[in-house]
A and B are shown apart, each in its own frame.
Chain A
Amino acid sequence: MTDALSQYSVLSLYSAMGVYAIAFVLFTIDLAGKTTEGKISAKFQRIAYALTWVGFALQLAAAIMRGVAAHRVPWANMYEFAMTGTLIITGVFLVANLKWNLRFVGTFSTGLVLILLGLAATRYYVEVVPLPPALQSYWLVIHVFVATLGTGFFSLGFSLSVLQLLQQRREVAVHDGKKTRLTGLVKLPDAVALENYAYRLIIIGFIFWTFTLIAGAIWAEKAWGRYWGWDTKEVWTFIIWTIYAGYIHARATRGWRGTRSAVLAIVGFSAVMFNFTIVNIFFKGLHAYSGL
């Protein structure tokens, strides 16, 4: 039963990846497409967006089946964390699109999710095993889930910040009367609007990250006997918190809005990814739950 379910979970995940791949291609064609072809590319975007929902549903099924197979939340090792984390990244992208039209970010969201899932499925896959005693706590449900939520919002903020920088370059080029290859960005919001979107998403991510830090400290006190011990994972969580605290202050600092704050958002998310991949696998520490 357990084996069958976890195999269905893998199958469902691979299907999701296939659907995401098509969505990624269509999103990219749309983003790169020139305005003169606007009609066709708008259709591509609509299809890609719908496919992302389909991929999300398949991935959600994969995560649920994995959780049922393991009798616990599906985020207790690196493979599962990647699966649920990317599910949340896609989820944040889709939910944000119910409020604002940010479909043009799709190429980044699906691209990032594809890379992470590809890594997870080929390099990090582990069979379902029971939880080690250190992870048997309701804080696993809270702390890790909120961390993935924060990551989801940061990822969308990151994508918007990248687009903001590109848009800025295009705007400067147009202003100076120079040629630019970034004409596809004409149909996107201007750089200031992109920055505003990014900021609003990142402050939500920052709240979740702050909560992750506090919840992690409470759990660490229970499990390891101290709430803070500069474990490598704690260090990187702190570094990420500090970078994003800087990002939020940058908005109120003359000369730091615009390009510099976008760079901070990009550095911040790079640190999140570094924390998830390099720190998990190569750094020694107490958060050694990758299962590899």
Chain B
Amino acid sequence: MVNPKLSIAGYGRWLWSLLTSMRTALVLLLFLAIAAIPGSLFPQHSSDPNGVAQYFADNKDLAPVLDTFQLFDVYSSVWFSAIYILLFISLIGCVIPRTKHHFDALRARPPRTPARLERLPGFDEREFGGVDAEVALASARRVLKSQRYRVERYDRDGAITISAERGYMRETGNLVFHFALVGVLIAVGFGSGFGYNGQRVIVEGQGFSNTLLAYDSFNPGRFFTPTQLEPYSLKLDKFTTTYEQKNLNAIGQPTDYLANVTAQLRDQKPFATTIKVNEPLRIAGTDVYLLGNGYAPVVTVRNPAGKVVFHDAVPFLPQDKNLTSLGVVKLPDGLPKQVGMIGFFYPTAQDAHGGMKVSVYPDLVDPLLTFNIYVGDLGLNDGVPRSIYALDTSKLTKLTGINTKLESLEMKPGQSATMPNGLGTVTFDKVVRYASLDVHHDPTQGWVLFFALAALAGLLTSLFIPRRRVWVSIAPAGKNKILVEYAALARGDDPTLVAGVQGIIDAHIRDLGLTRD
């Protein structure tokens, strides 16, 4: 066999027909399934950034290698993108010719009746006496029409026949399904380009406005512009957690989180509303979600002269289910030296072994705040951004707590403690709650839903509407008698084809006013 030489255009056509073949689409689908697996094995930047950082810390040698293969960004990686882009090109290349073909089929007449119906599936025949052939044909036509068949009459030697076809919606649904998938992909792409999301922690009594500077962290889409931010403000009036108290297997399990907020759109009156888990606040084209919550002890620090150098509610991060919480206070100015404080807050404190404390219940029954004092260089002046939840102790000296001679500062609400070395005093005024809010804007998520539902509808029609052709052929059979032949052909899966033909025969007999024999 000699391989014909292909021109560049010839190669192009060959590649195109290869890419758009069903076999290639199938293989790409399976590749896509396999390629998605690593994203569940390794932490992903998109869904679990802290997990990625932890992985890098735990696997110093392996992590950079994995990162080279984009295994921490699987779903935006070159190789994953390559597969789904090829798959969608293949899909479009397959669906467009089918659409044209389907449009032609929709306008075409049902095909000529085959010569030998007895070879077809669902074949059956009946002999009727005393019925005119034309009357029987008109009756068959009525029956098929009532079952939403498209009918066409074809006469031939010795027989008059009807050719009928139905179920064009099957292919319509199939095409809708595939186009809708393309729609989903495009809508998702636009949404991630023009959307944004920002996170903000607010303490009871505080508020923030929807501006770039107000967010603790902000993730804009590629085409985001700050003018997109609708002006409004939110204030957290009260945050309530409800704990299970009756069920002995679940004492202290949170059963409800409720944020009472006051919202205000520009130039309008403020109004009170709520945010709950599963019940976000929809406001000004954004959705505000309740992401987390915790305790924020209100702390006042005075210098040795008694002057207030720090007074704020400090959000502490929960460490366990009884909300033992960890927080940091940094005091770069106003005291004799730079001071850092690492604090633990126990909503219901109890002594544990070795002089440790532990929280035994998440609600405020017997709150206690402890601080370890560090002095030295807080590292705030070298221009590197620092987390407000972590203290870099590399250039600090620890003055109180474990491995020092002095005990940690311990305070109940309203109590004060004195820092060592004449640094000043710390007061634990009270404790309030904070909520961490997540503000999202996704301009196309409605479209994604629309296309997803269209895909589902298309899928249902394409899998369950049978596309079939039916033929009825009537020929004289001796004196005053006619022989009626019925046959059908399925296009695609059609488990009820034979039953369908029998139903047509029954209906035909009824329509002719004959009884079944």
Binds B, one of A9-17, A165-173, A223-231: A223-231
- CA gap between A117 and B442 in the complex, in Å: 42
Q: Is A136 touching B250 in the complex (CB atoms < 8 A)?
A: no
Contact of B449 among A218, A236, A284 (CB under 8 A): A218
Q: A102 contacts the other chain (Cβ, under 8 Å)? A: no
- CA gap between A228 and B188 in the complex, in Å: 10
Closest approach, in angstroms, between the C-beta of A261 and any C-beta of chain B?
Answer: 10
Q: Is B26 touching A224 in the complex (CB atoms < 8 A)?
A: no
CB-nearest residue of chain B relative to A135?
Answer: B278
Q: Is A230 touching B39 in the complex (CB atoms < 8 A)?
A: yes
Contacts of B400 in A (CB 8 A): none
> Per-position contact with B for A235-251: 1 when CB-CB < 8 Å, else 0?
11011001101101111
> Per-position contact with A for B38-79: 1 when CB-CB < 8 Å, else 0?
011001101110010000000000000000000000110000
Contacts of B25 in A (CB 8 A): 249
Contacts of A283 in B (CB 8 A): 40
Q: Is A230 touching B44 in the complex (CB atoms < 8 A)?
A: yes
Q: Is A210 touching B456 in the complex (CB atoms < 8 A)?
A: yes
- CA gap between A236 and B279 in the complex, in Å: 26
Q: Is A225 touching B197 in the complex (CB atoms < 8 A)?
A: yes
CB-nearest residue of chain A relative to B276?
Answer: A133
Q: B452 contacts the other chain (Cβ, under 8 Å)? A: yes
- CA gap between A235 and B46 in the complex, in Å: 13
> Per-position contact with A for B178-192: 1 when CB-CB < 8 Å, else 0?
000000000010000
Q: Is A127 touching B287 in the complex (CB atoms < 8 A)?
A: no
Q: Is B452 touching A253 in the complex (CB atoms < 8 A)?
A: no
CB-nearest residue of chain B relative to A6?
Answer: B249
Using A239-B36, A239-B37 as known contacts, say yes or no to A133 and B29 having CB atoms under 8 A apart. Answer: no
Q: B256 contacts the other chain (Cβ, under 8 Å)? A: yes
- CA gap between A217 and B277 in the complex, in Å: 16
Contacts of A256 in B (CB 8 A): 23, 26
CB-nearest residue of chain A relative to B453?
Answer: A214
Contacts of B51 in A (CB 8 A): 284
Contacts of A223 in B (CB 8 A): 277-278
- CA gap between A37 and B44 in the complex, in Å: 58
Q: Is A225 touching B438 in the complex (CB atoms < 8 A)?
A: yes
Q: B280 contacts the other chain (Cβ, under 8 Å)? A: yes
Residue from A133, A137, A252 having most chain B Cβ neighbours under 10 A: A133
Q: B33 contacts the other chain (Cβ, under 8 Å)? A: yes
Q: A142 contacts the other chain (Cβ, under 8 Å)? A: no
Contacts of B247 in A (CB 8 A): 2, 128-130
Q: B147 contacts the other chain (Cβ, under 8 Å)? A: no
Contacts of B22 in A (CB 8 A): 249, 252-253
Contacts of A131 in B (CB 8 A): 255
Contact of B256 among A128, A133, A227, A254 (CB under 8 A): A133
Binds B, one of A42-50, A59-67, A195-203: A195-203
Q: Is A133 touching B254 in the complex (CB atoms < 8 A)?
A: yes
Closest approach, in angstroms, between the C-beta of B72 and any C-beta of chain A?
Answer: 12
- CA gap between A206 and B462 in the complex, in Å: 13
Closest approach, in angstroms, between the C-beta of B150 and any C-beta of chain A?
Answer: 24
Using A133-B255, A214-B453 as known contacts, say yes or no to A232 and B40 having CB atoms under 8 A apart. Answer: yes
Question: What's the interface size class on A, roughly?
Answer: 35 or more
Chain B residues numbered 448-503 whose CB sits less than 8 Å from any CB in chain A: 448-449, 452-453, 455-456, 459-460, 463, 493, 495
Contact of B29 among A2, A218, A231, A246 (CB under 8 A): A246
Closest approach, in angstroms, between the C-beta of B507 and any C-beta of chain A?
Answer: 23
Contacts of A285 in B (CB 8 A): 47
Residue from A136, A206, A230 having most chain B Cβ neighbours under 10 A: A230
Using A133-B257, A211-B456, A246-B26 as known contacts, say yes or no to A222 and B278 having CB atoms under 8 A apart. Answer: yes
> Per-position contact with A for B432-457: 1 when CB-CB < 8 Å, else 0?
00000010101001001100110110
Q: Is B445 touching A227 in the complex (CB atoms < 8 A)?
A: yes
Closest approach, in angstroms, between the C-beta of B180 and any C-beta of chain A?
Answer: 11
- CA gap between A206 and B459 in the complex, in Å: 9
Q: A279 contacts the other chain (Cβ, under 8 Å)? A: yes
CB-nearest residue of chain B relative to A223?
Answer: B278
CB-nearest residue of chain B relative to A250?
Answer: B26
Using A131-B255, A236-B40, A255-B23 as known contacts, say yes or no to A245 and B291 having CB atoms under 8 A apart. Answer: no
CB-nearest residue of chain B relative to A211?
Answer: B456
How many residue pairs at the A-B interface have CB separations less than 8 Å?
Answer: 132
- CA gap between A226 and B196 in the complex, in Å: 11
- CA gap between A94 and B280 in the complex, in Å: 42
Q: Is A246 touching B30 in the complex (CB atoms < 8 A)?
A: yes
Contact of A243 among B30, B46, B255, B276 (CB under 8 A): B30
Q: B512 contacts the other chain (Cβ, under 8 Å)? A: no
Closest approach, in angstroms, between the C-beta of A257 and any C-beta of chain B?
Answer: 12
Closest approach, in angstroms, between the C-beta of B370 and any C-beta of chain A?
Answer: 29
Q: Is A229 touching B29 in the complex (CB atoms < 8 A)?
A: no
Q: Is A235 touching B39 in the complex (CB atoms < 8 A)?
A: yes
Closest approach, in angstroms, between the C-beta of B215 and any C-beta of chain A?
Answer: 14
Q: Is B289 touching A224 in the complex (CB atoms < 8 A)?
A: yes
Contact of B452 among A206, A214, A226, A239 (CB under 8 A): A214
CB-nearest residue of chain A relative to B249?
Answer: A127
Contacts of B155 in A (CB 8 A): none
- CA gap between A129 and B250 in the complex, in Å: 6
Q: B244 contacts the other chain (Cβ, under 8 Å)? A: yes
Q: A177 contacts the other chain (Cβ, under 8 Å)? A: no
Q: Is B277 touching A134 in the complex (CB atoms < 8 A)?
A: yes
Closest approach, in angstroms, between the C-beta of A291 and any C-beta of chain B?
Answer: 10
Q: Is A225 touching B440 in the complex (CB atoms < 8 A)?
A: yes
Q: Is B33 touching A243 in the complex (CB atoms < 8 A)?
A: yes
Contacts of B48 in A (CB 8 A): 284
- CA gap between A128 and B253 in the complex, in Å: 12
Contacts of A232 in B (CB 8 A): 40
Q: Is B33 touching A239 in the complex (CB atoms < 8 A)?
A: yes
Q: A174 contacts the other chain (Cβ, under 8 Å)? A: no
Using A129-B249, A255-B23 as known contacts, say yes or no to A225 and B291 having CB atoms under 8 A apart. Answer: yes
Q: Is A196 touching B495 in the complex (CB atoms < 8 A)?
A: yes
Q: A207 contacts the other chain (Cβ, under 8 Å)? A: yes
- CA gap between A134 and B280 in the complex, in Å: 12
Q: Is B253 touching A132 in the complex (CB atoms < 8 A)?
A: yes
> Per-position contact with A for B245-273: 1 when CB-CB < 8 Å, else 0?
00101100111110000000000000000
Using A133-B256, A137-B278, A284-B51 as known contacts, say yes or no to A251 and B493 having CB atoms under 8 A apart. Answer: yes
CB-nearest residue of chain A relative to B43?
Answer: A284
Contacts of A249 in B (CB 8 A): 22, 25-26, 29
Q: List 17 A-B contacts (CB under 8 A).
A: A130-B244, A130-B247, A130-B250, A133-B254, A134-B277, A136-B256, A200-B495, A207-B460, A207-B463, A214-B452, A222-B280, A227-B445, A227-B448, A230-B39, A230-B46, A243-B30, A249-B25
Q: Which 9 A-B pairs have the closest CB atoms?
A: A129-B250, A127-B249, A225-B289, A242-B33, A133-B277, A235-B40, A246-B29, A232-B40, A137-B278
Besides A129-B244, A254-B23, A286-B47, 10 other A-B contacts (C-beta < 8 A):
A131-B255, A132-B254, A199-B493, A203-B463, A222-B280, A227-B442, A236-B40, A243-B33, A249-B25, A253-B26
